[in-house]
Every structure is written in structure tokens, then in C-alpha cells.
Amino acid sequence: MQTNPVPLRLIVAPIIYPGVNEYEVDEWLAGKIDFHVYEELSRKIRGTSRRIARYSIPVGSVDTDEIAQLRSHTSKLVSKKVRGFLFKGSIANLEQLISDSLRRVWQKESSGGR
């Protein structure tokens, strides 16, 4: 168990579509943040991306009910404390948009708002 947690305040998920002129920004609700955090925490522990012997033998899951419950509890706590955004578009139209959006969120967070 980690004893010095890193304070997480923001999750950004960019999806790049080369050559498109439109963009989309979606601020996630806590339930969607919970879903994505849980999935990301689960990916390695379940062994879905672990292989040995030159990537030829999959490694089985090391998950237990206790670990899964802790992971679920943790993702729910995280989802109540952070904001999450999905950005879709080309690099050209997202680069400044993400930077500006993050700056606004950071300023709002720094002033005590969510």
C-alpha cells in the first residue's frame, strides 16, 4: 500500500483525429471518472498486459476480492476529488484548447472552486 499518495486533481484524456477541423470537449461526471480510474487501476493487476518469455506466455491475474474492493473504493474516492476531461480533435485544434482549458481549471481550483 502506498504511504505517500500523490495528490491527483485532474484527468485529461485526449483523442487525436488527424486532419479534422472540429473538436469536442466533454467534462466527465464523477461516475465516468470512477469508471475510467477503476479500469486503469485494474488493467495491470489483472494481468491483461503482462507476458513473459519474450511476450509469449501470458501471466495470470494476481487479483483478489480484497484488492478489487480496495481498488473500487479508491476509484470512488478519486472520482469525488478530481475533474476529468475528454478532448477530441486534431493536434492543431486541441493543442491550444487543452492548454487554455487546463489553465482555467487550474485557476479555478487554486481559488477554491471546482
Q: Per-residue pLDDT for the chain (114 aa), expressed as one digit of tens each? A: 556 776 788 899 999 998 888 889 999 999 999 999 999 888 877 666 778 888 888 887 888 899 999 999 999 999 998 989 999 999 888 888 888 888 887 787 777 765
Check if the beta carbon of residue 28 is closer than 8 Å to that of residue 86: yes
The answer to whether the predicted template modeling score (pTM) of the entire model surpasses 0.85 is no
Domain definitions of the chain by residue range: 10-110
Selection from 46, 41, 72, 78 nearest residue 59 by Cα: 46
Residue 86's DSSP bridge partners are 13, 26
Sign of CA dihedral 15, 106, 26, 31: positive
Contact 24, 87 (CB under 8 A): yes
94 burial via Cβ count (<10 Å: 0-12, 13-18, 19+): buried
pLDDT at position 85: 92
